Amino acid sequence: MAWVMVMIVADQYTKYWVMSQLPLGHVYPVFEGLNWVHAHNRGIALSLFSDASQGWLNLLTALSCAVIIALSLALRCLRATQYRLCAVIVLLLGGAIGNLIDRIRWGYVIDWIDVYWRHWHFPAFNLADAAITLGALIVLCLPHQDLALWMKASQNK
């Protein structure tokens, strides 16, 4: 759980820096292909559902809480030797909690990383989004045996 806390603190600190240093909507060029921005995202990853009603957003927040509980329980079921699965859950859990803190505190998530190519911009994101995405990609690449062990450990606890 210590690594989850590191992930949450890093995410929240970077968002604090953005809020204190960049006015909303401001773009700070870092180098070709990367800007720091200050954006508010009321939706989920990649700004999906940003125009959804408050009822749907509340449902998404409740779903996030359920996922956080499930991931926390899964992390407790794993042995320390299952480092790949532990790393995945740390990334997913830290990212989910980081964005949930924003949603509860502000009613939106603070996004600040703007990756682009020429005139095409990927939707702005933050460290929590990056952690969730990386964790999901790792799950897709995990050997089937790792996932089977995780499922078996979850059923035995």
Report whether 129 contacts 99 (CB < 8 A): yes
102 is catalytic: no
Residue 154 has pLDDT above 70, yes or no: no
Task: Give the model confidence (pLDDT) of 6-41 as tens digits.
Answer: 999 999 999 999 999 999 999 999 999 999 999 999
Q: What is the dihedral of CA 22, 23, 27, 30, to 10 degrees?
A: -10
CA–CA distance, 85 with 135 (Å, rounded to integer): 9
Residue 114 has pLDDT above 90, yes or no: yes
- Quickly state the pLDDT bin for 149 (edges 50, 70, 90): low
Token pair belonging to 109? 């998530």
**Quick check: helix, strand or coil at residue 39?**
strand
pLDDT of residue 59: 87
pTM to 2 decimal places: 0.85
CA 129 to chain centre: 3
Handedness of CA 24, 27, 30, 36 (dihedral sign): positive
- Catalytic-role residue among 11, 102, 111, 114: 111
Of 1 and 156, the structure prediction assigns the larger pLDDT to 1
51 is catalytic: no
Give the number of C-alpha atoms closer than 13 A to the C-alpha of residue 129, restricted to the C-beta side.
21
- Catalytic-role residue among 11, 102, 114, 129: 129
In 24-111, where does DSSP find H-type helix? Answer: 54-77, 83-106
